[in-house]
Chains A and B, each alone.
Chain A
Amino acid sequence: MKIFARILTVAALLVPLVSTNAAAQDKPKVIRVYGQGAGFGKPYGNQVIGVLRDRGLLEKEFEKDGIKVEWTFATGTGPAINEAIANGQADFANYGGLPNIVGKAAGLPTKILASYGIGNVYLAVRANAGIDRIEDLKGKKVAVAFGTINHLGFQRFLELNKLTQKDLKVVNLKAGDQVSALQAGTVDAAFGGSNFLNLEDKKLVKILFDTRGEPSPVNNFGAFTVTESFAKQYPDIVRRVVKNFVIAARWASDDANRQEVFNIWAKTGIPADAYADDFLNQPLRERLSPLIDDFVLARYREGVVFSKEEGFIRQDVDLTRWIDTSYLDAALKELNLQNYWSRRDAAGKVKKG
């Protein structure tokens, strides 16, 4: 008991020491960045975060300060990133809208800094599953990874087609398992990302539905976030990180770099051709905008309402307090990019003026 009391006393004495120390430091030793990964293949990023990493922008930016940058692309995707944030292992995290919302509602101290861009979703059906139209899905076994942004897209897709989960047999499978389940014929269809394009080329699946082209409410969305404590302690570091995020977005949005961008993303294990197919006839900047415009806001708003309806979250999420675009706006101004990306309305149409 005495020893215990002594430990407590020592600990109590140390606490102020540690915290004053921390407050006195104006820079961290390391910046820990988490990316959503792809859930399969190699842990490397696609979209803006993959480009940011590959071009080593943060490393260059912080080299002179002696700050290291640590990258983690979680194979468990969004849900695993929430756990990393809760455990204090991440400073910045780039991940999908649904796990984003789920984490925030559970009380994770995150701030949304920028949109991570929008992604396409695909409904792949097994070649001989006898599914030719969306109505044929009734009673079929469909795989989707629960808790990921694809899950939200899936629900939106069902809604738009006047279907509910009960009309199908929905199986909770991670992205990597979906591919083997499709190949083994244990599921009839799967709802996920552009990795299915690869299977289509091999004639293993047909793509029955996708969001290629104009942005739609079914598209994937997500954000680049920072923890509140990091932002409070090192606002200037956040400013510099966001600036480089915008530089990466600008570079990745330039169609002159198209092939190079696809080659970088190919490091995830999805071939560059699949990305070319994914972005067919679409300028890069339509999908890689970091802006939190009405389109992204509407997706988040819908996501919160939907998550609450489905019981994924119990508390409401206050978007206005969660999203902090001040760093983004400053970066756009500094880089003179205010008008580079078009602002979209809630439905995804480009706003005039």
Chain B
Amino acid sequence: MQPAVRSLAADVGAAEALIAAPGGVAQWTSPTRLAWPALSRVLRRLEGLGLPIAVLVLWAIAARQAWLPTQILPPPERVWEVLVDGLAGGDLLHALGVSLMRVLEGCLIGSALGLAFGVLLASSRVSEVLLYPTFKALAQIPTIGWLPLLMLVFGLEDALKLVIIAKSSFIPMAFNAFEGVRAIPDSLTEVGTVLRLNLRQRLLRLVLPGSLPALFTGQRLAISHAWKAMVAVEILVSTDGIGATMLAGRQFFQLDVVMACIVVIGVTGFLIDRAFVFVERRALRWRVAGNVEDRS
């Protein structure tokens, strides 16, 4: 079987990843790359750090020169201290753990449902006609827009946060699963019919390999959406977790805590995404060479 098809969604995902990759757009050749291949490889990895370092330097200067009051813009070393204390002392680490568990649980539920829903939509015209418009319309409402309503139904406890996070990962997963399955060419589906594949064989040998890149894109978007939804919901309805720590930081006028939380949220989100790309590359290694390589 030759699953040579890539869905549109997967392409978009790849392009996104390419742009976000360290070193920027692939065509651009850094001068360092020409002379010393080994050195240039190291530098290439570090090029993406250029912007963060520039921001850091600007921040340090701004804090030192007091362009903004120090209560509003604490110096980076102060934020670093809070970060180290919080991670070593366990407060930040604990909050992060709570939030991570929440995201994993919510994302697992949301993506599983999203996958099933997407496949269902794609596999039958009837379900598409009946469900797709509604799904599309509901997907337009930002997850947080549901909060006032869901608060009344689920209260302020974990259930509410799980529902919000699951919902935010459900949409991209369902959408990509739908697109991925839809993009399997009719010729392959027909071959499947000729070979009289049963449902199980069909799913495992045709649908799954054919839509896998799209599913990965969906999953990657799902976890990223879940992560962002977690931060939002924890800030709005907070008892614990990293979002709640951030809100309390603001209420106690400790902007260094707020910024430390922003760093933790950003870095963790980035690492999750990296881990995902790593898994994706390994999982899709069997595919035609060159298709996945550029997606780092």
For A147, the chain B residues whose CB sits under 8 A away are: 248, 251-253
Given A86-B69, A87-B69, A169-B239, A187 contacting B253 (CB threshold 8 A): no
Mask of A170-193 contacts with B, CB within 8 angstroms, 1/0 = 111100000001001111000000
Whether the Cβ atoms of B252 and A86 lie closer than 8 Å is no
Q: Do the beta carbons of B156 and A186 come within 8 Å of each other? A: yes
> What residue of chain B has the Cβ atom nearest to residue A170's Cβ?
B239
Shortest distance in angstroms between B144's beta carbon and chain A's nearest beta carbon?
Answer: 15
Report the Cα distance A288→B84, complex, angstroms: 46
B19–chain A nearest beta-carbon distance, Å: 30
- Please name the residue on chain A nearest to B250 by beta carbon: A79
CA distance A108 to B152 in the complex (A): 39
Are B152 and A146 interface neighbours, CB within 8 A?
A: no
Is A171 in contact with B248, judged by CB distance below 8 angstroms? no
Closest partner residue, chain A, to B238 (CB atom): A172
A103: CB under 8 A from chain B? Answer: yes
Chain B residues within 8 Å of A102, by CB? 252-253
* A122 and B239 alpha carbons, distance in the complex (Å): 21
Give the total of A residues in contact with B, Cβ under 8 Å: 29
- CB under 8 Å from chain B, chain A span 185-208: 185-187
Name the distance in Å between B242's Cβ and chain A's nearest Cβ: 14
A-B pairs under 8 A by CB, number: 61
Instruction: Tell me if B71 is interfacial: C-beta within 8 Å of chain A.
Output: yes
Q: Could you tell me which residues of chain B, from 258 to 273, have a CB within 8 Å of some CB in chain A? A: none
Specify the chain A residue showing the minimal Cβ separation from B72. Answer: A86
Please determine whether B71 and A108 come into contact, CB atoms closer than 8 angstroms: yes
B254 in the interface, Cβ–Cβ < 8 Å? yes
- Residues in B with CB closer than 8 Å to A79 are 250-253
Name which residue of chain B comes closest to A105, CB basis. B253
- Enumerate A269-314 residues with CB–CB distance to B below 8 Å: 312-313
Asked if A106 meets B254 with Cβ closer than 8 Å, knowing A86-B71, A171-B239, the reply is yes
> In the complex, how many residues of chain B place their beta carbon closer than 8 angstroms to a beta carbon of chain A?
18
Determine the chain A residues whose CB is within 8 A of the CB of B248 once the complex forms. Answer: 146-147, 172
Residues of B within 8 A of A106 (CB): 71, 253-254
With contacts A79-B250, A146-B252 known, is A107 near B239, CB below 8 A? Answer: no
- Judge whether A146 and B71 touch: CB under 8 Å: no
A103 close to B239 (CB less than 8 A): no
**B70 close to chain A: CB less than 8 A:** yes
Name the A residues within 8 Å of B151 (CB-CB).
Answer: 181, 184, 186
Are the CB atoms of B155 and A186 closer together than 8 Å? yes
Residues of A within 8 A of B96 (CB): none
**Structural contact, B72 and A83, CB atoms closer than 8 A:** yes
Indicate if B247 sits at the interface (CB-CB under 8 A): yes
A-chain residues with CB within 8 Å of residue B156 when the two chains form the complex = 141, 171, 173, 181, 186-187
CA distance A108 to B69 in the complex (A): 9
Contacts of A169 in B (CB 8 A): 239
A contact residues around B250 at 8 Å (CB): 79
The yes or no answer to B244 lying at the interface (CB within 8 A) is yes
The CA of A83 and the CA of B155, in the complex, are separated in Å by 31
A225 contacts the other chain (CB 8 A): no
The residue in B152, B155, B252, B253 that gathers the most chain A C-beta atoms within 10 A of its C-beta is: B253
Minimum Cβ distance to chain A for residue B243 (Å):
11
Q: Tell yes or no: A97 within 8 A of B by CB.
A: no
Is A119's beta carbon under 8 Å from chain B?
no
Residue of A nearest to B254 (CB): A106
Per-position 1/0 for B149-177, Cβ under 8 A of A = 00110011000000000000000000000
A250 to B211, CA, bound (A): 77
A103 to B71, CA, bound (A): 9
Residues 59-80 of chain A: 1 if any B CB is under 8 Å from the residue's CB, otherwise 0?
0000000000000000000010
- Given A181-B156, A186-B151, A82:B253 Cβ within 8 A: yes
- Contact mask for chain B residues 68-106; partner A; CB cutoff 8 A; 1 contact, 0 none: 011110000000000000000000000000000000000
Q: Cβ of A99 < 8 Å from any Cβ of B?
A: yes
Provide the bound-state CA to CA distance between A79 and B255, in Å.
Answer: 12
Residues of chain A with a CB closer than 8 A to B72's CB:
83, 86-87
Cβ of A145: which chain B residues have Cβ within 8 Å of it? 251
Docked pose: A86 CA to B247 CA in angstroms: 18
Least distance between A104 CB and chain B CB atoms (Å): 10
Q: Tell me, rounded to whole Å, the shortest Cβ–Cβ distance linking B272 to chain A.
A: 26
Measured CB to CB, the nearest residue on chain B to A183 is B152
Q: Tell me whether A312 and B252 are in contact (CB under 8 A).
A: yes
Chain A residues whose C-beta falls within 8 Å of the C-beta of B70 in the assembled complex: 107
Proximity bits, B44-83, A CB within 8 Å = 1, else 0? 0000000000000000000000000111100000000000
**Contacting residues, chain B, for A312 (C-beta < 8 A):** 252
A203 to chain B, nearest CB (A): 20
Q: How far is the CB of A79 from chain B (nearest CB, A)?
A: 5
Nearest A residue to B244 by beta-carbon distance?
A: A172
Chain B min CB distance to A222 (Å): 15
Tell me, in angstroms, the Cα distance from A184 to B155 when the chains sit together: 8
1/0 per residue, CB under 8 A from B, across A78-104: the answer is 010011001110000000000100110
A146 to B95, CA, bound (A): 17
CB-CB under 8 A from B155, the residues of chain A are 184-186
7 smallest CB-CB distances across A and B, nearest first, come from A147-B251, A186-B155, A86-B71, A86-B69, A79-B251, A146-B251, A82-B253
- Between A and B, 10 residue pairs with Cβ closer than 8 Å are A79-B252, A82-B71, A83-B72, A88-B69, A99-B253, A103-B253, A106-B253, A145-B251, A171-B156, A172-B244
A interface list, Cβ under 8 A from B: 79, 82-83, 86-88, 99, 102-103, 106-108, 141, 145-148, 169-173, 181, 184-187, 312-313
Excluding A86-B69, A99-B253, 16 further A-B contacts by CB distance (< 8 Å) are A79-B250, A79-B251, A79-B252, A86-B72, A102-B252, A106-B71, A106-B253, A107-B70, A107-B71, A145-B251, A172-B238, A172-B247, A172-B251, A184-B152, A186-B152, A312-B252
Report which B residues bind A (CB closer than 8 A): 69-72, 151-152, 155-156, 238-239, 244, 247-248, 250-254
